[in-house]
Structure 1
Amino acid sequence: MHTLRRHLLHCVLFLCCCALPPAAASARSGGQADAATDAGWTPLVDKLAADGLDKAALARLFAGGTVEYSPEIMARKVDAMVRKEFEPKPKPGRKTLEQSAYRHFLTPEAVAGAVRFVRQNRAAFDKAQREYGPPPELVAAFLVVETNLGTYLGDRDALSVLASLARASTLEQIAPYMKTLHGEPARREFAAAAAADRAQWAFRELAALLRYAAAKKQQPGTIPGSIYGAIGICQFMPSNALRFGVDADGDGIVDLFCPADAIVSIASYLRGHGWKPGMTPQETRDVVYAYNHSDLYVLAVTTVAERIKARL
């Protein structure tokens, strides 16, 4: 079994965004790397190059409009943060769950599909439990809630999503698209700080995505992602793919779009965030919360896990 970190150490062929010394990048580009880059992306390309990625490859990647800039993505993210800060909702209960979008995963049909998925991938679930601890019903519940067992992986490419978030770092860029400011100074101040913070976070995730794509030998723009750049059947942020991704099928590549790798990687993530045998229900909820900081999400995952377990 190889983690992605180990694979990166041994990988000798990087595509698109390899980490090359500046001199090598300059030689490959003939000194024209910046000329090919769309002007709006130049500061981000420079920052990624300073982080150790190949500037010539970055210039080609961000040239010609192939990476789409959408400040609306950051506006949506900051709107959600403003609502959480200034319009907090009461703690959700079963009734809230049954009225939410998660209700689709609670049906007998959805649970039966999850049970079939566990049985079809029993070797991977057994490996996940044997080497990392979390039981099949819990791991499967994440896959159900995140991507409906891989049937929906997002409708945007993760590269454009994360690049847009990294670029939209100021309130001025996103305010025209926001719905929660209401002309209130306190909200504007919070939103400005949130945008700057999330842009830094997105930059780190973007750099991780490029490294993940290189290790996977895949063009980064072809990797589908969620509305905020999560990838794979398990919807990991790219930095978690690098840190917790597991090559469960032994093909030398961590592929989070492969059921076996995604299943064992979730177990790796959960153990890395405190999962251990014999936890109390509250301790289990705390570990699930680390995956997605939403009380309703936690309730959805744990409820789906209970129903899968009853059927298994």
Structure 2
Amino acid sequence: MMHFAKKLVLAGTFIGLFATPTLAAQCGNDAGGFNAWKSAFAAEAKKAGVKQRGLDALASAQYATGTIKADRNQKSFKYTLDKFMKVRGSATIISQGRKRKASNAGLFNALEKQYGVPAGVLLAIHGMETGFGGFMGSSKIVSAITTLAYDCRRSDFFVPHAVGALMLVDQGSITSNTKGAKHGELGHTQFLPGNALRYGVDGNGDGRVDLYNQTDAMASTANFLRKKGWKPGQGYQEGQPNFKVIKQWNAATVYQQAIAIMGAKIDG
């Protein structure tokens, strides 16, 4: 029997403090100011509720050159839909998604009953993000996300996720050495840390939220989509009510389209 009730608690100060950041920490465009930024940011993180374990993780974070390189070279926004589907291996994702849906029918039926999100959408995301858990990233999450919070390009966007990552360390969900994607995403479906903190749920009923556990990750992904406005029983192709919710998952239009197309084929 599946359990989907327990949510990872979001610290009450998290959203309010960082909705419109006014940080003393100065952003930068290279590694030169990172250590000074960390010192200033530590004070802001502490005000937001980050405890000692999280602050220690911040202190040990290193400037992630690979993350900056990846952030400057995001190709998905440049691909046509056909090119994107080919690069992502859509045929394999659809085939494997159908098999996984059939072999885990109880899980996906329970998720759809609880959240209203069909299996195809969850499996399309799972397949595209990590090849169904085959590769969940090789970058240290805390270093990656704090580097992006420091970087001037999109500092305001990543600051709340940096705080989220430090809170996840405080809670024992991750450590300073836990690895994820280049932009600090974690787990089977690559949640940004702030979203993991806010939308993560305990899907398998073991009393903790672990996005490296497939059941927790699937439940958390469904919870994210439902909280973003998913309408149970409504369509999710372009022009249908739930497509705008898929847009909340990834900013690239081709990525959104691919989720919808592959999800329908998996569900079909």
Coarse TM-score class (shorter-chain normalised): 0.7 to 0.9
1:61 equivalenced with 2:74 (yes/no): no
Instruction: Supply the distance in 2 between the matched residues of 1:59 and 1:136 (Cα, whole angstroms).
Output: 38
Structure 2 Cα separation of the partners of residues 105 and 99 of structure 1 = 10
- Describe the shift of the 1:308–1:163 C-alpha distance in structure 2 as closer, same or farther (beyond 3 A): same
Contact 1:105/1:144 (CA < 8 Å) preserved in 2? no
TM-score by length of 1: 0.68
Say which SS state the counterpart of residue 100 (structure 1) adopts: helix
- Alpha-carbon distance between aligned partners in 2 of 1:219 and 1:248, rounded to the nearest angstrom: 17
Distance in 2 between residues matched to 1:62 and 1:278, nearest whole Å: 43
Q: 2:82 matched to which residue of 1?
A: 98
State how 1:236-251 maps to structure 2 within 5 Å: 236-251=191-206
Aligned mates of 1:267, 1:148 — CA distance in 2: 18
Q: What does residue 152 of structure 1 align with? A: 135
Aligned to 1:209: 165
- Separation (CA, whole Å) in 2 of partners of 1:59 and 1:131: 36
1:70 aligned to 50, 64, 68, which one?
Answer: 64
The correspondence of residues 1-312 of structure 1 with structure 2, limited to 5 A, is 1-5=5-9, 39=36, 41-54=38-51, 56-58=52-54, 60-63=56-59, 66-70=60-64, 73-74=67-68, 76-77=70-71, 96-100=80-84, 102-107=86-91, 109-169=92-152, 195=153, 198-215=154-171, 217-280=172-235, 281=237, 282=239, 283-310=241-268
Number of residue-to-residue matches in the alignment: 240
Long gaps (5+) in structure 1: 10-36, 170-194
Segments of structure 2 that go 5 or more residues without pairing to the other structure are 13-33
Structure 1: distance between partners of 2:177 and 2:36: 23
Deviations 1:32-56 (A, max 9, x none): xxxxx955521222221232223x5
Sequence identity (%): 24
Offset from partner CA, 1:157-206 (integer Å, 9 cap, x none): 1111111112223xxxxxxxxxxxxxxxxxxxxxxxxx2xx213222101
What secondary structure does 1:165 align onto?
Answer: helix
Q: CA deviation at 1:101?
A: 6.0
- Counterpart-to-counterpart distance in 2, 1:249 and 1:122: 15
TM-score by length of 2: 0.78
What is the alpha-carbon distance in structure 2 between the residues aligned to residue 58 and residue 133 of structure 1? Answer: 35
1:102, 1:145 within 8 Å by CA — same for their partners in 2? no
Q: Structure 2 counterpart of 1:73, which letter?
A: T
Measured in 2, the distance between the counterparts of 1:308 and 1:135 equals 10
Tell me how far apart the structure 2 counterparts of residues 57 and 263 of structure 1 sit (CA, whole Å).
28
User: SS at the partner of 1:232?
Assistant: coil
Distance 1:103 1:76, change over 3 A: closer
Distance of 2:132 and 2:265 partners within structure 1? 16
CA contact (8 A) 1:45 1:58 kept: no
RMSD: 2.9
Provide closer, same or farther for how the CA distance between residues 102 and 265 of structure 1 changes in structure 2, counting only shifts above 3 A.
Answer: farther
Verify the 8 A CA contact 2:46 2:55 in the aligned structure 1.
no
Q: Helix, strand or coil: the match of 2:123?
A: helix
Q: Which structure has the larger Rg?
A: 1
Post-superposition shift, 1:226? 1.7
For 1:43 and 1:146, the matched residues in 2 are separated by 33
Q: Alpha carbons of 1:132 and 1:219: their partners in 2 closer, same or farther (altered >3 Å)?
A: closer
* Conserved 8 A contact 2:54-2:166: no
Counterpart residue type for residue 192 of structure 2: M
CA distance in 2, matches of 1:240, 1:59: 20
